């Protein structure tokens, strides 16, 4: 299941999205989610992506993370055109370079926090002992060492999300992609998660792209971009009112 992947070279713009279209087909109907989109994300950036439901935020995040492929255009991450990689190489690339944080945590319910965090390490050649050591370290970073043997159902939402973040950083990826990481949490737990992401960005230099509906969460990022009708803008006005009303509304677009 493992494949050797070269380390990501140092580049000024870690992510380059060039003229990307994304079209979904539902029967004979074509839904244009993204059209001619360009975006550059420098290494070490903490970018917040905001926009109304259906604007294509999660789709863009999926394209940057290699979870989906563009209908047209190119996605270059660390100098590599990931949209041209085979499925197998793309999977190996994700395992090596991308950490994913989901709104609903997406932990395996039958595995303890420790084993959940160890999952991405199964794809490496690390020994069992080393995997366990690294997972313990990741849990320590997110402040969950004392809960490592607990199963997701016995953890609070905030603790589950911290476990999700530990799983995302356990392979020491270059890029962290967070889809509504605070969307299912109360304000206090949400703040703890945002503190953690900020620390990972500032202290460990992780490049973070965070999709959010929450303007308070977006305020923690270095910068915010707004996506509307498949196009990126830096203009918040049109979206601000709508975003406030939709804060904490699950968005899977």
Partner 1 sequence: MKYLFLLWSNLRRKKTRSVLTVLSITVAFMLFAYLGAIRQGFGQGIDVAGLDRLIVRHKVSLIQLLPAAHEARIEQVEGVVDAMHQTWFGGVYQKPTNFFPQMPVVPEEYLAMYPEVLLSDEERKAWLNTRSGAIAGRTTADRFGWKVGDRIPINASIWTRKGGEQTWEFDLVGIYEGAERGTDTTQFLFRYDFFDESREFGQGLVGWYTVRIADPERSAEIAAAIDGVFANSPHETKTEAEGAFVQGFAKQIGDVGAIIMSIVAAVFFTILLVAGNTMAYAVRERTGELAVLKALGFTDRGVLGLVLGECALLTAIGGGIGLLLGWLLVGMGDPTGGSLPLFYVPPRVLVTGIVLIAVMALLAGILPALQAQRLQIADALRR
- Residues forming contacts to partner 1 in the complex (CB under 8 A) are 1, 3, 59, 62, 65, 67-68, 87-88, 91-92, 94-96, 100, 102, 106, 108-111, 115, 119-120, 122-123, 128, 167, 252
Q: In this structure, are residues 250 and 53 in contact, taking their beta carbons and an 8 Å threshold?
A: no
Minimum distance from CB of 120 to partner 1 (Å)? 5
Instruction: Specify the residue, 106 or 247, whose C-beta has the smaller distance to partner 1.
Output: 106
Query: Largest Cα–Cα distance of the chain, in whole Å?
Result: 53
Minimum distance from CB of 220 to partner 1 (Å)? 24
Phi, psi of 40 (to 5 degrees): -125, 130
Instruction: Specify the residue, 3 or 235, whose C-beta has the smaller distance to partner 1.
Output: 3
Which one, of 209, 225, 177, 234, lies nearest residue 46 by Cα?
209
CA 199 to chain centre: 16
Instruction: Specify the residue, 91 or 215, whose C-beta has the smaller distance to partner 1.
Output: 91
Instruction: Specify the residue, 55 or 224, whose C-beta has the smaller distance to partner 1.
Output: 55
Minimum distance from CB of 53 to partner 1 (Å)? 12
Q: Could you count the other beta carbons within 10 Å of the beta carbon of residue 107?
A: 23
Q: In this structure, are residues 24 and 230 in contact, taking their beta carbons and an 8 Å threshold?
A: no
Minimum distance from CB of 200 to partner 1 (Å)? 18
3-class SS of residue 112: coil
Minimum distance from CB of 40 to partner 1 (Å)? 23
Minimum distance from CB of 98 to partner 1 (Å)? 8
Q: In this structure, are residues 58 and 211 in contact, taking their beta carbons and an 8 Å threshold?
A: yes
Instruction: Please give the helix or strand (H or E) that residue 208 lies within, else none.
Output: strand 207-211
Instruction: Specify the residue, 146 or 153, whose C-beta has the smaller distance to partner 1.
Output: 153
Q: In this structure, are residues 111 and 48 in contact, taking their beta carbons and an 8 Å threshold?
A: no
3-class SS of residue 165: helix
Instruction: Please give the helix or strand (H or E) that residue 6 lies within, else none.
Output: none
Instruction: Specify the residue, 30 or 238, whose C-beta has the smaller distance to partner 1.
Output: 30
């Amino acid at each position: 299941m493992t494949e050797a992947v070269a380390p990501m070279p140092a580049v000024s713009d870690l992510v380059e999205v060039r003229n990307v279209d994304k079209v979904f087909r539902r029967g004979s109907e074509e839904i244009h989610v993204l059209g001619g989109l360009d975006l550059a994300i420098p290494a070490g950036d903490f970018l917040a992506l905001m926009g109304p439901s259906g604007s294509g935020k999660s789709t863009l995040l999926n394209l940057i993370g290699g979870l989906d492929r563009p209908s047209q255009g190119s996605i270059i991450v660390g100098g590599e055109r990931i949209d041209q990689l085979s499925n197998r190489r793309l999977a190996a690339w994700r395992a090596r370079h991308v950490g994913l944080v989901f709104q609903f945590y997406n932990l395996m319910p039958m595995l303890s926090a420790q084993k959940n965090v160890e999952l991405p390490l199964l794809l490496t050649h690390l020994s069992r002992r080393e995997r366990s050591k690294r997972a313990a370290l990741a849990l320590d970073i997110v402040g969950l060492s004392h809960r490592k043997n607990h199963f997701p159902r016995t953890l609070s939402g905030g603790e589950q999300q911290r476990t999700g973040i530990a799983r995302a950083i356990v392979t020491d990826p270059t890029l962290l992609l967070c889809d509504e990481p605070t969307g299912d949490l109360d304000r206090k737990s949400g703040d703890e998660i945002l503190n953690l992401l900020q620390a990972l960005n500032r202290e460990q230099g992780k490049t973070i792209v965070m999709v959010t509906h929450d303007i308070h969460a977006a305020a923690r990022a270095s910068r915010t971009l707004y996506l509307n009708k498949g196009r990126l803008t830096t203009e918040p006005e049109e979206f601000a009112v709508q975003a406030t009303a939709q804060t904490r509304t699950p968005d899977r677009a």
